[in-house]
Chains A and B, each alone.
Chain A
């Protein structure tokens, strides 16, 4: 069979997927671009061309800047914590102790819990009147009176970060554990004979095996954290006093609560651009790291 026929056949086989992708991703994305240059409303008016007005308004406005800071803070802190706790948990799970298999199986639990259920669960735990966190901290004696963890601008974002970490660090742990199990036994044994301490062993013997998979986990987690919506929506809806309003929440409010499709679209595209830059930068990083080892 000739090469051109094989290539043509491949495209034919891909046709259903391509049609679906154009219908539900390609066309909507292009239409978002078109809308972002208009003052269209969600229902009713088609809108007229307004040039880059939407972009200028969005980029100059304090709402966007504040949401960008909130989102970045959320993503950086929660992903860092997830990576550190995840690797520590993986190192632990790689040791030999009784009950190890059961503990490994438990790690699947937070990952399998639907995001909305996780958010609901933590919202109940943080409840200002009857929540378990208030009850536990009062009974231990750490706080005197019940607090509204999600109701105070000072603590709401931290409370969200804790809930996000709890759900996602086990995934990092499972990925890191699989990588740790790929470290050949004789290499760790040899490093022991050579007298390497635990820190040096982790840095020079184990880390090269962990770096690749961890970088990929870092990329995926950061992108997910940057897009966060469900958790915030269920727990705080962006409040109190907009202290947890992330970029996705801001787009939702602009496009759907206020029905301003045009400026909502421009905001959404700015977010998309930020995520893309993040992804491309990371991809370069991953390639560089893969080349180094």
Chain B
């Protein structure tokens, strides 16, 4: 390792501080807004740190009193959980057999590219017929309908991730079991799927995060507490006449908490997932 000039070292630390500040400042400010009193937030000059920490908004949003702001927020939180959970499970269920088939059968691997290509479609290209179709089926403003629509995003994505996961498992293990007379379902159940468990978990988390993040379809296809998801609820708050900016910030913190925690805990897996997609192209 070369010896570094002190000036260079100082430059590195200064840049690192700048980068940390750029990343942290907006997030910290969101959190500070959520615990500042309305008076602190509307003070001029602005109070950058509250005189008194005010956690009441968290209580307000998480209360389940009927017709309160909290009830609406909790309902949308549950809707997000239901929609993202159902869509993830369904996506993984259809992705496992097809990803395995594509991974083990070169003759059909071209179909994977067709599947991935749909990932580039802008949602607006599908939105109008999906809206009319859901209306016909009576699935507008329903968590089931929205979860079904989310398969447009999650199914191609999880198939692609799982396929590269299956590629990493040697074919020979499966052939050996086949020679011993195991049936295909036994091979998958006993050998392949347990080996693929880590990549299945990563794919499921990615899919869940994608669904949790989704806004466009949720905005179009849901209209009230029965199906409105968290992203729509927050956009309503941000665009509505809520005068307490701290409340909007609190909703933001709560909605960001699950994905941020997943992101920090799963860092390594997420980054390798991102880059394996990135490097392979």
Contacts and interface: CB of A to CB of B under 8 A. Distances in A.
A248 B232 CA distance: 17
B12 A216 contact: no
Given A10-B101, A135-B46, A107 B275 contact: no
A105 interface: yes
Interface in B238-276: 238-239, 245, 248-249, 251-252, 255-256, 259-260, 262-264, 267, 270-272, 274-275
B231 interface: yes
Chain B interface helix/strand/loop/mixed:
helix
Interface string A188-226: 000010000000000000000000110111000001001
Interface in A124-138: 124-125, 127, 129-130, 132, 135, 138
Contacts, number: 282
Interface in A244-293: 248, 251-252, 255-256, 261, 264-265, 267-269, 271-272, 275-276, 279, 286, 290
Interface stretch (B52-60, B64-72, B92-100): B92-100
| Contact size range, A | 35 or more
Contacts of B22: 166
B212 A35 contact: no
Q: How big is chain B's contact interface, by range?
A: 35 or more
Interface in A53-76: none
Interface of B: 2, 9, 12-13, 15-16, 19-20, 22-24, 26-27, 29-30, 33, 41-42, 44-46, 48, 90, 93-95, 97-98, 100-102, 104-105, 107-108, 111, 115, 117-118, 120-133, 135, 148-149, 151-152, 155-156, 159, 184, 209, 212-213, 215-216, 219-220, 230-231, 234-235, 237-239, 245, 248-249, 251-252, 255-256, 259-260, 262-264, 267, 270-272, 274-275, 277-279, 281
Interface of A: 3, 6-7, 9-11, 13-14, 16-18, 20-21, 24-25, 27-29, 31-32, 35, 42-43, 89, 92, 95, 97, 99-100, 103, 105-117, 119-125, 127, 129-130, 132, 135, 138-139, 166, 170-171, 174-175, 178-179, 192, 212-213, 215-217, 223, 226-227, 229-230, 233-234, 237, 248, 251-252, 255-256, 261, 264-265, 267-269, 271-272, 275-276, 279, 286, 290
